[in-house]
């Protein structure tokens, strides 16, 4: 009897353990759509919310809903799809935080361009 035949049960335990480890691996979900498109949607939502925040208190909520509907339509989505997108992103806080940072960086860059044009009188 050779060495491997005596320890056949160790081989099977090893194979079974490896199968369990690789089959139980939790799959991380990917982003529901392209990162650039999500960033653009977040930018537009920030703009819509800031515009609505400047409105009178009596119409602020209905104005926010209208602006969000327009943001969704602009990106080819329904309001329910927009809600679903952000519910999925809430389950991925690291990705959401990164995308929000990208959107804010983009908005800051656009704001700098506008300020530079204003300073130049264009």
The pLDDT mean for the chain works out to 82
Q: Which helix (H) or strand (E) holds 111?
A: helix 93-120
Q: What is the pLDDT of residue 26?
A: 53
Is 44:75 a contact under the CB 8 Å cutoff?
yes
Query: Measured between alpha carbons, how far is 21 from 66 in angstroms, rounded to an integer?
Result: 49
Q: What is the pLDDT of residue 105?
A: 95
Q: What is the pLDDT of residues 24-63, one digit of tens each?
A: 555 556 888 889 999 999 999 999 988 888 878 888 888 8
Query: Measured between alpha carbons, how far is 20 from 54 in angstroms, rounded to an integer?
Result: 56
Considering only CA atoms, which of 53, 50, 73 is closest in space to residue 61? 53
Is 39:106 a contact under the CB 8 Å cutoff?
yes
% residues pLDDT > 90 (the chain) = 45
Mean of pLDDT values over 60-68: 86
């Amino acid at each position: 009897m050779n060495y491997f035949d005596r320890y056949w049960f160790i081989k099977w335990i090893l194979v079974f353990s490896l199968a369990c480890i690789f089959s139980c691996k939790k799959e991380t979900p990917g982003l529901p759509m392209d990162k650039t498109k999500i960033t653009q949607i977040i930018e537009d939502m920030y703009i819509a919310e800031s515009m609505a925040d400047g409105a009178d208190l009596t119409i602020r909520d209905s104005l926010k809903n209208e602006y969000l509907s327009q943001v969704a339509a602009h990106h080819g989505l329904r309001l329910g799809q927009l809600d679903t997108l952000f519910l999925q992103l809430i389950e991925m806080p690291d990705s959401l935080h990164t995308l929000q940072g990208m959107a804010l960086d983009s908005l800051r860059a656009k704001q700098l361009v506008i300020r530079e044009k204003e300073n130049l009188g264009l």
